[in-house]
Each structure stands twice: as C-alpha cells, then as structure tokens.
Amino acid sequence: MLVIAVAAPAAAASPPLSERLARQVLSAGDGWAAEGAGTTGGAAAAPENVFQVDTRDELAAAVAGTAPAIVIVRGTIRGNADPAGAAVSCAQFADPAYTLDAFLSAYDPAVWGRVAPSGPLEEARARSAANQSARVRVNVGSNKTIVGLGGARLNGVFLRLDGSSNVIIRNLTHEDSRDCFPVWSPTDGATGNWNAAYDNIWVRNSNHIWVDHNTFTDADNPDSAQPLHFGRPYQVHDGQVDITNGSNYVTVSYNRFTNHDKTMLIGSTNTPGADVGALKVTVHHNEFEGSVQRAPRVRFGQVDVYNNLYRVPVDDPYEYSFGVGVQSAIYAENNYVAFGADVPPDSFVFDWGGTVLTEKGTWARSGRSLPRPVNLLAAYNATHDPDIAPDAGWTPSLRAGHVLPAPAAALVVELCAGAGRIR
C-alpha cells in the first residue's frame, strides 16, 4: 500500500535533509541535463503526489505515469521478492522446464555449434527470464524525483527509463541488479559471451535526466565471483548506468561506481540511427573504483567527462576506461587516475572505432609514485595505430562552477561522491 504524505505532516515526519532533497532541482548550467528548461524532476508535485515507499510494488506504483511526483525510498527495497516482500530465488523464478545444467549440456558449442540457442530449452530460459523481469524491472515515468532517505537501498532493482523526460535519481545505493538467466550469444566476440539483461539504471529514449550522489555496487555477488561456462564468464550483470537509444541531455554527477565490469555505456550500436545528434551527456565528480571497462564507452555522443576520480588497482581483469566508439566526441578534462603499479597507462584509452578525443589536464599516480600531469591519449597513440586525433571538435559550455585542477577534484570526489554525502 502506498503511503501518501500531505505537505505539513511529511515535513514533520521526515528528516530535514530529505525534505530539502525532495524539492531540489538541477542547478542552472550543471551539465547537459541543464540544457533548455533544465531538469526539475518531481519538484512541482502536489502534496498528494509525495510518496514514501518501502516495497518494490509501492515504488513501481509511485514512479508510474507522467504526473510530477516525489518518491522517497526508505530502508531496503528488494526486486527479487514477491508482493509481500519475501525473497524469491533464481530457482523459484525458473520455469519448470529449465535448469542451467540442462542448458549447458544442450548448447555447449562443442555439441550445438556457434549458432544461437533455439528450441524448447531456450524457450524455457526465456520464460524464466520473463518471470524475473516482471519483479525486478521498475518502469520510471516522466517528471519524477526518486530520492533515498539515509541508508536507502535498491537491491536487485532495475530502474528502466524508456521514453521518459525530466527525472532525478539521488542518494540511493543500487545493489546487485543480477540476471538469473543471462543470454548465451555464441557469435558475440571470437568465442561467444554471456549477456545480462538488467542495468541498475537504463536511460533509453529519454531526455533531461539527472543521476546524482548514488552508490553502485554488486554487493556480495561481484562479477569476479561468477563461474566460467563455455569458457566465458557467466555474466549476470550489465551496466550500472547505461544511456542509449537516442537519449539526450543527461548529467551523471557525484556517484560512486565500484568493482563492476561494464560500468557505463553511452550509445546503442555502431549503426547510425536515433543516437546521431543525441547522447549529450555530462559525467563529472564521480568515482570509478575497480571498473573493468566502460567508464564510459561512447558512441556518437558529445560527452563531457571532467573532474572524475579513477582507481585502477590491478591490471587483471582491467580492460580500459575511456571507450572511444564510432563517431564519439569525448571531451575529458582534469580527471585524476590512480593506477596500480602493474597497470600500463596506455591501457586507459581503447579505440572502438572512434577517431577523436580531447584529453587535457589529467593527473595520474602509478603505484606509490608521486602524482604528475600525464597525457593518456599520447600514451595510447605511442603504442597503437592508427592514432586517435586529439581534438573532439567541440568545447563544453554547461558546467557546474569552476573546473578544478585534477588533484583538487580527486579530494572533492573522495569527500563528497556517493550516497549519503550530499552537503
């Protein structure tokens, strides 16, 4: 049941910080989400559209539709749960005709070949996936502010913004949006890959979105703990924040992204379409700790990446941070990188078919060495062909205050990024 708070009682019942956050809007000039009329979320919500929610079903009901609404999350909301809140396991979501052991036996490439699974067992996997999706996916409508009270968590919840506009998501810990039934894609890469369906937040065909002061984690189910099947990691997580399918005017600020593989994808495919001319995204004052790849990976978009802190502790399984994709235009300024001693600086950039990247003002520390100014694009170009040209062809104009020198930005991010750290 939804708990509806009228204006005066809600103010009296909730901590002052939550009331302030609930009506707060994106500041003028704070990244691409401030373009035009800016991003106000549910700030205009009438008193009857201010909700405090404790369960997945309450959350789903409160964020539906387009009427302005403020949704205050309390405690831990679990997606992998029944309507009464009782935990539901992967085995309980599984269709009676599906088991993982049977799937692995039937579609082993040595037996089945390098073609997509089909037939009754794959259909049973798809039905199992649909059972889970019906619980973990929460569709977020337009004109919404979702904000967490102190310590609020979304565990196993997949927030899906599809065709939405003017949404704010703040002060939440997003945990383990795991897929119990990932797809086996035998032609993905040289040897095939498992692909999960659920992000923590997926921004699709949406505009004017602000994702701020959240923490993203796989909790006690990290990617590194997943088994190998068919010789490939059994990938049960997708992105932490993915922005695709023509989405536009998004600001991602003061978040902590921790120990995850595919962190942030901006852009859908390499094929020109809705993404062309869209995907204008600002990524500032975030901490990327232990991100294996996609921090971010970009196709087509004009993406401003400034004053972020990157911690790359080990070479294995690290792949890259800046993914320079087809027709991308990343403008990276005054970011700080802490490399583990065995991580080569030329690995920070990876060419996914792009041709340009502006990178300036970066500082880096390798192992226990002193931090110093570096040019990571030059390091990449020195060991790779063809070169990526050092000019993205545009200069950002929408930024929140002064751009700090990279060492100062790192201190600010350490102190201020993540859930529970809004000042």
Residues designated as active site: 294
Among residues 228, 244, 364, which one has the least CA distance to residue 294?
A: 244
> What is the CB neighbour count within 10 angstroms for residue 37?
9
Beta bridge partners of 358: 331
23 contacts: CB under 8 Å, gap ≥ 6: 43, 70, 145
Distance CA 338, CA 321 (A): 12
Distance CA 303, CA 325 (A): 12
378 contacts: CB under 8 Å, gap ≥ 6: 390
Angle, alpha carbons 226-194-136 (nearest 5°): 75
**CA distances to 45, 186, 202, 264, 315 from 320, in Å:** 42, 23, 21, 12, 10
215 Cα distance to chain centroid: 10
Distance CA 144, CA 66 (A): 8
Give first-to-last CA distance, the chain, whole Å.
Answer: 32
CA atoms within 13 A on the CB side of 271: 2
Question: Of all helices (H) and strands (E), which one includes residue 91?
Answer: helix 90-93
Supply the Cα-derived Rg of the chain in whole angstroms. Answer: 21
Beta bridge partners of 298: 266, 324
Distance CA 119, CA 317 (A): 35
3-state helix, strand, coil in the chain (%, to 5): 20, 30, 50
Among residues 18, 30, 21, which one has the least CA distance to residue 249?
A: 30
> What is the CB neighbour count within 10 angstroms for residue 20?
12
Distance CA 167, CA 161 (A): 9
**CA distances to 138, 146, 169, 171 from 21, in Å:** 22, 10, 11, 9
